[in-house]
Amino acid sequence: MRNRLTKVVYLTTKKSNLSAMKKKVLIIGLLLTSFGSYSFHTTINTRPQISVKEAISVSVSVSSTSGAVSGALVKISLNGVTIGAGTTDATGKATIAIASYNKQPVSIDVTHVLYKEQKMTAVILENGKALSFVMKSKSENAAEVTKKSEEKVTKIEEKTSNTVEKTEEYKQNAEKYNENKENATKSAEELKKEREEKEKATEEKNRATEATQSEADKQRAEAEKEKAEAQRIKDEKQAQIDRDAKAREEEAKKRQEEEAARQKNLENSKVVDAKAEEERAKKEAESKQKEQQNEVKSAEQKAKEAEEKAKNEKKSAEEKAKAEKEKAEKAKEEAKEAEKTEKAEKEANNKAEKAEKEAEKDAKEAEKDAKEAAKEAEEAAKAKEAAEKLEEQLKEFDEDQKKIDDERKDLKKEQNKLDDKVKKGKKLDKLKKEQDKLDESNKKLDEKQKKLDDKRKKAIKKAK
């Protein structure tokens, strides 16, 4: 299509100035182009395809839920024949070199005595390609046994537990997803606008193209006539071209057969090398895996001993604690009984001491009372006389008190009325003056009350 448009543009721009001489040049150019194109096409179609093989290297990573898997045998096979093998190192990686490979689908097997076999089929390898395998454990390895044992011992000794909260993470994820949604919506709107603009521009271009195509069709009709003349010249040369092409084809076929024979011999020698590498890797893997099995057994034994020791220590500690607890409880009960006895004795002693002091005190009080009784009899006569006098005086004070109480009641009534007015919130300035006046009256009444109380106190004091 691109060549066609190029020719159309070329013919369109040159149409007005095209002369008879330029037409002849065009015919010769088309003729030469056809010769080269036909010859090249013939060579490609008749030449057999050569299969190019090359040496490549791939890396394989093997892991499990507990980490990298060491000592795993990795085998790469093509049509049942091993073309490469290796053993994973401490990091779980194996680098495998393949001497001859040509993009054929291969199978990859990963084996280990402690894990279930893993396999990939129909894999197309590439130089430097990295492959990953995750193996499932048949039984626990040494690290897992030790880890579980430590966890059990820790639970026995410490009884700890851990929890993980994800609420905040979900919330953050939800916010992130909402933000992504908004961005995607905005981007879609912008893309829609761009698309509509592009569609409009495309329509304009199509209309221009249709006009150009119409003109090109007219020019093409003239060109066809000129091409017919060129075809006649080309046909005359065709016989010679065919003879030359056949000779080249036979020569290329012979070279290809010789190259295939050499390649086959080379591949046979590389397959032998791959088998030897497989045997070496297999022995290395068996040695490492046997070592790991022994480590597992040793770890299991140590774990069992550690757990048993922890259990025995726990049991011994519990028995000692129980014995000490029984002793402590018994001692506690005995102490309580002793404390009760001590407390009873203290109480009895205190009672006796108190009774003794009370008796002594009663004796002194009785003696004192006897002396005072005579004195009181004498003073009683005087007191009676003073009391009668005080009674008369207090009656006068009671009259004064009644007047103060009546005044106080009147002030209380006035205060209540004033409080009602203040609640209404009107004429507060005037009400404040009334309040000040009322407070002054209460203050004066308080002074009267104080003077009257002082008179009472003096009269009572004097009466004593």
The DSSP string of 171-207 is HHHHHHHHHHHHHHHHHHHHHHHHHHHHHHHHHHHHH
* 287 in the same domain as 430: no
Average pLDDT by stretches of 10, the chain with 464 residues: 45 48 52 45 43 85 92 94 94 94 94 92 93 86 73 79 77 82 82 86 85 82 77 67 68 69 58 76 89 85 86 83 82 82 81 77 76 77 79 86 92 90 84 90 92 88 76
Angle at 302 between CA 298 and CA 308, to 5 degrees: 145
* 428 in the same domain as 283: no
* 84 in the same domain as 67: yes
How far apart CA 31 and CA 29 sit, in angstroms, is 5
* 290 in the same domain as 224: no
Range of the domain at 43: 2-48+220-262
The answer to whether residue 104 is domain-embedded is yes
The answer to whether residue 334 is domain-embedded is no
DSSP class of 137? B
The answer to whether residue 175 is domain-embedded is no
Number of domains in the chain: 3
Radius of gyration of the chain (CA): 61
* 33 in the same domain as 92: no
* 152 in the same domain as 62: yes
The answer to whether residue 113 is domain-embedded is yes
* 279 in the same domain as 144: yes
* 296 in the same domain as 225: no
> What pLDDT is recorded for position 261?
61
The answer to whether residue 291 is domain-embedded is yes
Q: In the listed set 252, 277, 312, which residue is the last one of a domain according to the structure?
A: 312
Q: In the listed set 262, 295, 325, which residue is the last one of a domain according to the structure?
A: 262
> What pLDDT is recorded for position 37?
43
* 121 in the same domain as 86: yes
The answer to whether residue 356 is domain-embedded is no
Specify the CATH number for the domain of residue 286.
2.60.40.10
The answer to whether residue 395 is domain-embedded is no
* 278 in the same domain as 145: yes
> What pLDDT is recorded for position 310?
84
* 140 in the same domain as 20: no
> What pLDDT is recorded for position 48?
42
> Which pair of tokens denotes residue 390?
């005080």
The answer to whether residue 285 is domain-embedded is yes
256 to 90, 260, 269, 284, 286: CA distances (angstroms): 47, 6, 20, 41, 44
How far apart CA 277 and CA 283 sit, in angstroms, is 10
* 254 in the same domain as 280: no
